[in-house]
Structure 1
Amino acid sequence: MPVTQLVKPTIDIGVVTVNQDAMVNFYGNVLGFPALPDVPMEGFLVKRFQVGDCVLKIVQFENEPGGRSVAGGLGDSTGLRYWTVSVNNLDALLAAVEDAGQKIVEGPTEVRPGVRIALVGDPDGNLVEFVDRPIS
């Protein structure tokens, strides 16, 4: 039997920020992920968004963390560098990102016939990979 016994078949992603308003605007308004109820905790606030079956959590602490993550492209450092969202409207999504003044870090690039990818930076420089693939 596996050691990890899941009770939910998806993962939640937590992003700590000092720029919660800009992050909430980007994920909620620019990308259009539906907002879920906030979760206030002692010392921090969690803003949540539904991303398919997953939940994206944008966390801001009352006391600003002293460290910062390493910005840059995929191969610029180790660790969690990006997360992937599969879409069928990559061009419209990238236009909305550019219109909002956010950076398209890479792409769009066709990685195999009928499948294109692009990397987008959020307001904190975290990378989101969008994969445009045929609907299956």
Structure 2
Amino acid sequence: MTLRRIEIGLVSTDSTLADYYAAVFELEVLPAVEAGSGTVHRLQGPGALIKIMVPTEPPTPATPVTPFIATTGLRYLTLAVTDLDATLARAKAHNGTVQLGPLEISPGLRIALLQDPDGNTTELVHEPA
């Protein structure tokens, strides 16, 4: 196997989105990296790095597509969490919106869909231990 880790990159108008993901998913905040085109805020989690790029020239905010399955392309992230209810509570407290759920789709397997403050969709999955 050649895959070592997954890095996810999101583009935002400011660092608020990095603050959201750090707080909601309890991610380690790594030092930001200044690039010629802007600042990359880096958040470390088990097996993944989430990068929030804040360009020097503010980008045009995207229009969220609802439902997220209404168009093709990279439309959502799936994150496995240890406590779905606590994660949803943190998301709501940081201006996230619950789009669906939580739902139990099989015994002990629960999911929910969140929309972050920029309109990106995240699927949360909690599997039985």
Q: TM-score, normalised by structure 1?
A: 0.85
Task: Map 1:82-101; keep pairs closer than 5 Å.
Answer: 82-101=76-95
Preserved CA contact (<8 Å) 1:15 1:59? yes
Q: Give the gaps of 5 or more residues in structure 1.
A: none
1:19-76 Cα deviation digits (max 9, x unpaired): x232022111233211112111102110000121110000011112347254322312
Q: Which residue of 2 aligns with 1:134?
A: 128
The structure that has the greater radius of gyration is 1
Preserved CA contact (<8 Å) 2:12 2:61? no
Q: Which residue of 2 aligns with 1:27?
A: 21
> Structure 1: which 4+ aligned runs deviate by more than 4 Å?
none
Q: Which residue of 1 aligns with 2:99?
A: 105
Preserved CA contact (<8 Å) 1:88 1:134? no
Residues in 2 aligned to 1:108 and 1:41: alpha-carbon distance in whole angstroms = 39
Identity of counterpart residues, as a percentage?
34
Q: Which of 41, 49, 57 does residue 51 from structure 2 map onto?
A: 57
Q: Which of 6, 9, 24 does residue 11 from structure 1 map onto?
A: 6
- Report the RMSD for the aligned CA atoms in angstroms: 1.8
Q: Which amino acid aligns with 1:130?
A: L
Q: Which of 44, 57, 65 does residue 38 from structure 2 map onto?
A: 44
Q: Which residue of 1 aligns with 2:119?
A: 125
Q: TM-score, normalised by structure 2?
A: 0.89
SS at 1:36 equivalent: strand
Aligned residues: 129
Residues in 1 aligned to 2:39 and 2:83: alpha-carbon distance in whole angstroms = 32
Preserved CA contact (<8 Å) 2:6 2:49? yes
Q: Give the gaps of 5 or more residues in structure 2.
A: none
